[in-house]
A and B are shown apart, each in its own frame.
Chain A
Amino acid sequence: MTELTSHGRGTTTARPAESGREPAAPEPAPAPARRRGRRRDRATPYLLLAPALLVLGLVLGYPLIRLLAISMQDYGLRALFTGSAPWIGFANYAKVFTGGEFTAVLVRTLVFCAALVAGTLLIGMFVALLLGSLGRRMRAAVTLCLICAWAVPNIAATLVWQWLFQPGYGVINWLLTQLGIFGDLTQHEWFASSFSAFCVVWLLVVWQSVPFVALTLRAGLSQIPRSYYETAALAGAGAWTSFRVVTLQFLRPILLLVTILSVVWDFNVFNQIWILTQGGPDGGTTTLGIWSFTQAFSSQSYGQGAAIAVVSVAMLLVLTAYYVRRLVQAGEQW
């Protein structure tokens, strides 16, 4: 039944222009729903959703079904040209799990994703706090640097990174050698070992992801009323305790959202790894995304690639299921 819901926090007409600036009150009481029984209303939400459903269906929905279908077919290049492919049930999936590569690839993906999320969130939080305690000019400078890093398109950034870390001509090697601590690093090859290759990719992804997290958390922090901190200080709480009790509590919804987004995006990092390492050395930086891609586009086993992609989506859903439910529930209060 279509209904109009009134939402807000009880007293809603009080501060219209500042509705975006109200502090997030802990648990607002839901206003009573008002019923409108007119038949016309039933169709309206669906009409409004129609364009979105149409586009999503064409570009994501139908291809997703196709993806699932392909994952259960022996779909290679010939199938692409002739349009028909034999059905092989779950054989592609079986190959994924029994091929011997799966565990290594999965572990690599999970560890790298965790490292990225941790790095982004920790540095982002640090920067958000830093921004709060700076004067106006320094704050503008820091924000400017963040914006520049965020705005650079990631293909351009990856190419620049390749240039920065080049053995022999890259400026990073030269700078590190000048420091004198590490010895002569001018010919050092960053992509020769999978660990250092991952470090370089980590730096690139974090460099571009921190701005979003930092600015989001910063805005969240700015909305916490000072009175809470003052109360905590009066009650004798130290810096760490007041951070834990006040800051983190208030930031919880934002942190939840930002963490989920980070996990989803970092799990699926692809361009940066592919351009910098192509999944090497010797498969050492092959994550689930790279693996799916090489199966599909290097070996032309689109069916195999599709199976890996489906598995990776399933993994991600499992990882984030709990948090996604909480997020949706939180939104449902209104």
Chain B
Amino acid sequence: MHQRYLPHRLPLAAGLIALALTASACAGSSAPANKSASGSKTLTVWYMDGDLSTQDQAAIGAAFTKATGAKVNVQIQEWTNINTKLSTALAQNDPPDIVEIGNTDVPLFAATGALTDLTANESALTQGQSWLPGLSGPATVSGHLYAAPLFAGNRAVIYNKKLWAAAGITTLPTSYAELTADLDKIKTANPSPDFSAFYFPGEYWYGALQFVWAAGGQLATESGSTWSGALGSAAAQQGLATWKSFQNTYSAAASRDVDTKSPDQDALFAQGKAATILDTSINTVLKDEPSLKGEIGTFPFPGQTAGTTQPVFLGGSDLAIAAKSSNQPLALEYLKAATSVAVQKADIVGLDGWTPISTQLIEQTSDSLSQTSKAFAAAAVHSVATPATPGWATIESDASINQFFAAIATGSQSPAQAAQSFDSHLDQALNASQ
């Protein structure tokens, strides 16, 4: 008797299911938005959260629209798991036309066929400028260019003027020795254990690498086409030892195996828990504590010799065109707008205070910079990039480099021991084929 009504339940049930799923289907249609009703094209551009401000993005878009008449659809992406996002997005048949990629991640996508080869248009993009090697190097694979620089960001020392003055410091340090002497004074004046004269988290590898480079060491060296980790070298070891002692002396004990985000180093600085930090801009501090405006100063991290600065990690992003995009010529125009001298000067530097993409631009804009921004531009002159190989993306995303420095800071491994295992991980990862 069952089977008499069971088959009749089927249509009802099927209908309900269809209804539920149709609701979801209608709500989320994925019609590609490449042609608006009027017939003019729209370019989809992906920017990373926190890099360029919305005004800056709009300014680049305006320059592009003025030149071509086409519109721009900006999408913001988060940094967490961005490589997975980019990998899957660029593999789709209707990918975003242009993507902003962090300069250290560009080699990964450039070497695997996801991006359009720009070599033929290089001179149109550079417009006679000499791009910073830290930005264009990673975008070049086997002599071919796959992305154009967008902006550079690097680190300088940010200090709290009140706390420094209260410790009796009257002039800014110009050498490493002077810096440590100043920090000693601050430490004596503020003995509480959760206060840091210079807050430097143990996992802050962007900053820690400065010590390695300052001592003449390298992350990895390339011979032929093989990379090998070089942190075991005498120079690198010396840099690591200097860093360890710096970190342990001037940064609170709780900071040894954390990164800059938990707890947030800008928040700590804003609260007066740290007199000094190393960071890429003062904007976050001012957002956390607007009353500090005017109380913050900056200077490049001094090197061992008076008057020199430590080589800084050159951060920043490039813009690349998706190989599968159907708007290649338009996308190229967008890149031209973003790399143009006018936009770089007025927007990248003028609006956001980032470092522009060529040495000429850095020189030309240095006078227009605010007092606090000058230090970052000055530091950029002496900058180093990470190994320009696809395998570098692995090192950044598996957090092995964070663990490496944290192990040294906490003392759970000596610099030599840590370097030994990390170097072999570098050897394997940097040389892995894609």
What chain A residues lie within 8 Å of B390 (beta carbons)?
A: 77, 300
Interface set, chain A 163-186, CB cutoff 8 A to B = 166-169, 186
Q: Is the CB of A168 within 8 A of B407?
A: no
Nearest CB of B to A231, in Å: 41
Known interface pairs A78-B434, A189-B256, A281-B407; A299-B114 also in contact (CB < 8 Å): no
How many Å lie between the Cα of A167 and that of B88 in the bound state? 36
Q: Is the CB of A280 within 8 A of B412?
A: no
Q: Is the CB of B7 within 8 A of A300?
A: no
Q: Is the CB of A81 within 8 A of B323?
A: yes
Q: Is B370 an interface residue (CB 8 A)?
A: no
Q: Is B410 an interface residue (CB 8 A)?
A: yes
What chain B residues lie within 8 Å of A82 (beta carbons)?
A: 113
How many Å lie between the Cα of A112 and that of B434 in the bound state? 33
Neighbour of B194 across the interface among A81, A186, A278, A281, CB < 8 A: A186
How many Å lie between the Cα of A137 and that of B394 in the bound state? 54
Q: Is the CB of B90 within 8 A of A167?
A: no
Classify the interface of chain B: helix, strand, loop or mixed. Answer: helix
One digit per residue, 1 when the CB lies within 8 angstroms of any chain B CB and 0 when it does not, for chain A 31-53 equals 00000101011001001100100
Task: Name which residue of chain B comes closest to A193, CB basis.
Answer: B412
Q: Is the CB of B3 within 8 A of A41?
A: yes
Known interface pairs A36-B3, A168-B194; A81-B91 also in contact (CB < 8 Å): yes
Q: Is the CB of B254 within 8 A of A189?
A: yes
Q: Is A192 an interface residue (CB 8 A)?
A: yes
A-side interface residues, number (CB < 8 Å): 39
What chain B residues lie within 8 Å of A166 (beta carbons)?
A: 262-263
Nearest CB of A to B245, in Å: 19
Q: Is A211 an interface residue (CB 8 A)?
A: no
Known interface pairs A44-B7, A166-B263; A187-B194 also in contact (CB < 8 Å): yes
Q: Is the CB of A78 within 8 A of B6?
A: no
Q: Is the CB of A168 within 8 A of B112?
A: no
Known interface pairs A189-B254, A299-B432; A80-B3 also in contact (CB < 8 Å): no
Nearest CB of A to B114, in Å: 5
One digit per residue, 1 when the CB lies within 8 angstroms of any chain B CB and 0 when it does not, for chain A 16-38 equals 00000000000000000000101
How many Å lie between the Cα of A279 and that of B400 in the bound state? 10
Q: Is A227 an interface residue (CB 8 A)?
A: no
Nearest CB of A to B174, in Å: 32
What chain A residues lie within 8 Å of B254 (beta carbons)?
A: 167-168, 186-189
Q: Is the CB of A297 within 8 A of B84?
A: yes
Q: Is the CB of A282 within 8 A of B407?
A: yes
How many Å lie between the Cα of A164 and that of B210 in the bound state? 32
What chain B residues lie within 8 Å of A44 (beta carbons)?
A: 3, 6-7
What chain A residues lie within 8 Å of B257 (beta carbons)?
A: 189, 191-192, 281
Nearest CB of A to B92, in Å: 10
Interface set, chain B 383-401, CB cutoff 8 A to A = 390-391, 393-394, 397-399
Neighbour of B258 across the interface among A167, A283, A297, CB < 8 A: A167
Neighbour of A281 across the interface among B2, B10, B403, B434, CB < 8 A: B403
Q: Is the CB of A77 within 8 A of B114?
A: yes
How many Å lie between the Cα of A278 and that of B399 in the bound state? 7
Q: Is the CB of A78 within 8 A of B112?
A: yes
One digit per residue, 1 when the CB lies within 8 angstroms of any chain B CB and 0 when it does not, for chain A 272-305 equals 0000001111110000000000100111110000
How many Å lie between the Cα of A274 and that of B263 in the bound state? 18
Q: Is B24 an interface residue (CB 8 A)?
A: no
How many Å lie between the Cα of A101 and that of B112 in the bound state? 28
Having A77-B108, A191-B257, one finds 9 other A-B pairs with CB under 8 Å, namely A81-B113, A81-B114, A188-B254, A280-B403, A281-B403, A282-B413, A283-B403, A297-B397, A299-B394
Give me the interface of B with A, judged by CB distance under 8 Å: 2-3, 6-7, 10, 14, 17, 81, 83-84, 87-88, 90-91, 108-109, 112-114, 193-194, 252-258, 262-263, 323, 390-391, 393-394, 397-399, 402-403, 406-407, 410, 412-413, 421, 429, 432-434
In the complex, 24 of the A-B residue pairs with CB atoms within 8 angstroms, ordered by the A residue number, are A41-B3, A44-B6, A47-B7, A76-B112, A77-B87, A77-B108, A77-B109, A77-B114, A77-B434, A81-B113, A162-B262, A167-B254, A167-B255, A187-B254, A189-B257, A189-B258, A192-B256, A192-B412, A281-B403, A282-B421, A294-B398, A298-B393, A299-B429, A301-B432
